[in-house]
Chain A
């Protein structure tokens, strides 16, 4: 069975991931871990030299964002390797809503099941389900396990 777990930097995502490995994982499952990072904010006004300084600034911002994504990927890949889990990862800066990026991967990879935390990085607890989890739940046509806080 192919299982997809969308993650972010939150503890809830990590908890959902660990919960899956502890309670649901079976040896012949393949785990697809997905992280669709928001494009970093690129300011319109450059610091210093208007022409050349701006390009350097943009590259620096993108590189920092990319490094952060890589670090997050390493964290999860290490856990998967430790347990000898067959896996695939999609960690990238995504141009658009993270939730729709995740759903695209779900459809493309033809996963059988999705495991998602009920919330992620959002600080304000307005609703039970965070916006991304809510979107994923309503747009995938496979069983979804929602892991509460």
Chain B
């Protein structure tokens, strides 16, 4: 079975991934752990030196963004390292996260996703991305409220 685990940097995503490998994973399953990050908002005008191209600010934003992605990649690579047939894919996308997940999981047999990510509302309600994925997926979606 091909499984796509949609993650972000939240604890819920990490727990969902670990739970999958502890309880659901079967030898022979192909697993992709995917993070599709929003493009960071880049300034068009510099605040340091008014009128000039904001090169240093853009560089800083991109460096921070890439560092966050690298951290996520490292974190999940550690979790999957003992399992064969698994890989971590971290990308920046112009798409909405929900749409990117559905596209990336298009040939998966199941999607695993946390019930929330970083949302402020902590009641038992689905986060916006999880809700989108649940409503647009053609394959079973495993919602992990951990």
Contacts and interface: CB of A to CB of B under 8 A. Distances in A.
B134 A146 contact: yes
B122 interface: no
Contacts of A148: 137-141
B129 to A, nearest CB: 15
Interface residues of B, number: 23
A91 B16 CA distance: 31
Contacts of A19: 140
A115 B145 CA distance: 14
Contact of A144 (B1, B110, B125, B143): B143
Contacts of A138: 124-125
Q: Is the interface of A mostly helix, strand, loop or mixed?
A: mixed
A147 B140 contact: yes
Nearest to B131: A128
B142 A128 contact: no
B21 interface: no
A139 interface: yes
Given A138-B124, A139-B124, A143-B16, A26 B26 contact: yes
B23 interface: yes
Contacts of A140: 145
Interface of B: 1, 16, 19, 23-24, 26, 109-110, 124-126, 134-135, 137-146
